[in-house]
Amino acid sequence: MVSLGSLYSLRMLGLFMVLPILALYSDDYNGASPLLIGITLGVYGLTQALLQIPLGLLSDKIGRRPVIIGGLVLFIIGSLVAATAETMVGLMVGRALQGAGAIASTLMALVSDLTSEENRTKAMAAIGASIGLSFMLAMIIGPLIASVMGLPGVFWVTAVLGCLGIIVFLGWVPRMVAVEHNRETETDIQHIHSLFRDHNLWRLNFGIFALHLMLMAAFVVVPVLLTQELGLAAQSLWWVYLALLGGGFVVMLPAMILGEKYQRQRLSFTSAVACLALAMLMLGLFRGALLTPLMLLMFFAAFNLLEASLPSWLSKVCPPGRKGTAMGLYSTSQFLGAFVGGLLGGWSVQRFGVDSLFLLLAAVGCLWWLFALGLQTPRPLQTVVLRVADMGHEEFAKLILNVPGVDDILVVEGEQLAYAKVDKKTVDMAGLTPYFNR
């Protein structure tokens, strides 16, 4: 868990460090324009979205390790191309190559491969926390490095992080002794259509799409707002982001804990979406020395809560045996949102100006809020993997469904594993223990 969390963090740190500074240093490159800045920020998301599911399927066939190593090598190559680029097009190509190492879903599948059933949820939560930490560090470290080494220096450091990732993976991540077919970790394109029709899942996928669209579009102009409208020096932005992200984390944590404790996740979730929309609306209408930082604080607090809540919610409502496919769709939606956000943000600023961009993002937030109202509060469900007893699959399914607290079960013909969705608070684990996959 520690080694994979470190690997994930190193890679995401390299991807995110450019976010708070690209708009400030773009004048150093030929052909710079708001549209190209936006595309350069978000283009990694396009290649990630296009390759996330194909590389996940490839890892099911040839193994996780070759795909992960290949993805890290592509990430390093992209960083080197961006570090030596002299034009915005060169930067764009480098960022696209960085994103082509789309190993997020493969890494999460490897987490499932290497952890036991009872520890898997904790491992996923810990790695999710490491991703959030890497985002916070990137927002602070990126401006610090750029103030000393310029934007090329950020990409050189990113290439070094990619090399460290390979060292961590080869030296610390355990090798699988044996791999067993497990639908919880694999992507199955035959089930994509049915997952698209699940109203909770498509709302969550739209949510992560909209969240990263708003983030990427906002950062086409946020660094410029802080330096030009608020008069902050570029080399001082690291402490501004530290205050905003740290303050946002402190604000969102009680709301998330209370929502989980009292089963009010839907209320805390929709309130956070509303705060996102309100922050964008206010930034579009009434920016100022006091209001702009307050609205950015609200934005980051809501972003932190939603970024942590969405994958947790998805894991609770995902049909049994379909988590690998569902997470592939989720990751694809997330990275596609980053690309569309960069493109939309750059185009909107270039064509209509900063105010119009924030008003447009407020409209996206309102649309998301309307969709989020249709979400059902998730029950405290988790998936357990069982080994099918020596009986017919239909008979085994009926046996397990009769155990108190079992909500649903998937038994696949030709396999010896079954996937049961259980209520953690009411399930009679003694009735399932004889069938645990050991």
List the structure tokens of 123. Answer: 């491992």
In the chain, where are the structural domains located? 2-372, 382-435
Radius of gyration, CA atoms only, the chain? 22
Please tell me the predicted confidence (pLDDT) of residue 14.
83
Q: Which residue has the tokens 């490095």?
A: 145
CB contact at 8 A, 381 and 423 = yes
Contacting residues for 62 by C-beta, under 8 A, at least 6 apart = none
> How is residue 227 written in tokens?
């330096």
Q: Where are the beta strands (DSSP E) in 174-273?
A: none
Q: What tokens does 162 get?
A: 């990619």
The answer to whether 61 and 188 have CB atoms below 8 angstroms apart is no
User: What tokens appear for 23 in the block?
Assistant: 């708009």
* Helix ranges, 63-87 (H): 64-83
Using an 8 Å Cβ cutoff, are 120 and 111 in contact? yes
Alpha-carbon distance of 66 to 354, in angstroms, equals 44
Instruction: Compute the distance between CA of residue 51 and CA of residue 183 in angstroms, rounded to an integer.
Output: 20
What is the pLDDT at residue 249?
Answer: 80
How would you write the pLDDT of the chain (438 residues) with one tens digit per residue?
Answer: 788 878 888 888 888 899 999 999 998 899 899 999 999 999 999 999 999 888 888 887 888 889 999 999 999 999 999 999 999 999 999 999 999 988 887 887 787 777 765 666 677 667 767 777 888 889 999 999 999 999 999 999 999 999 999 998 898 888 765 455 556 666 667 677 777 778 888 999 999 999 999 999 999 999 999 999 999 888 888 899 988 888 888 888 787 777 766 667 888 899 999 999 999 999 999 999 999 999 999 999 999 888 878 887 887 777 776 777 788 888 889 999 999 999 999 999 999 999 999 999 999 999 999 999 988 877 777 777 888 877 777 888 888 888 888 888 878 666 677 888 888 778 888 888 888 765
57, 180, 315 from 185: Cα distances, Å? 11, 10, 12
**Burial zone of 306 (CB within 10 Å; 0-12 exposed, 13-18 middle, 19+ buried):** buried
Alpha carbons 55 and 331: distance in angstroms, whole number: 12
- Distance from the Cα of residue 17 to its chain's centroid: 15
For residue 183, what pLDDT is reported?
A: 60
Q: Looking at beta carbons, which pairs linking 395-404 to residues 24 or more positions away fall under 8 Å?
A: 400/432, 400/435, 403/427, 403/428, 403/431, 403/432, 404/428, 404/431
- The closest alpha carbon to 361, from 230, 211, 260, 240, belongs to 211
Q: Are 364 and 372 in contact (CB under 8 A)?
A: no
CA atoms within 13 A on the CB side of 42: 30
Check residue 297 and give its pLDDT.
Answer: 93
For residues 21 and 44, give the distance between their C-alpha atoms in angstroms, rounded to a whole number: 16
Backbone CA torsion sign across 239, 335, 325, 106: negative
End-to-end CA, the chain: 20
Residue count (the chain): 438
Between helix 104-114 and helix 64-83 the angle, nearest 10°, is 150
Q: What are phi and psi of 290, to 5 degrees?
A: -100, -45
For the 382-435 domain, the top CATH level (class) is alpha beta
CA distance 362 to 279: 8
Whether 44 contacts 79, CB under 8 Å:
no
CATH class label, 2-372: mainly alpha
CB 117, CB 14: distance < 8 Å: no
Instruction: State the pTM of this model.
Output: 0.86
232 within 8 A of 226, measured Cβ to Cβ: yes
Q: Which pLDDT does position 272 carry in this prediction?
A: 93
The closest alpha carbon to 222, from 138, 275, 287, belongs to 287
Contacts of the segment 360-365: beta carbons below 8 A, 24+ positions apart? 360/217, 361/214, 361/217, 361/218, 361/280, 361/284, 362/277, 362/278, 362/280, 362/281, 362/284, 364/210, 364/213, 364/214, 364/277, 364/280, 365/210, 365/214, 365/273, 365/274, 365/276, 365/277, 365/278, 365/280
CA distance 18 to 41: 8
Nearest-angstrom CA–CA distance, 358 and 284: 5
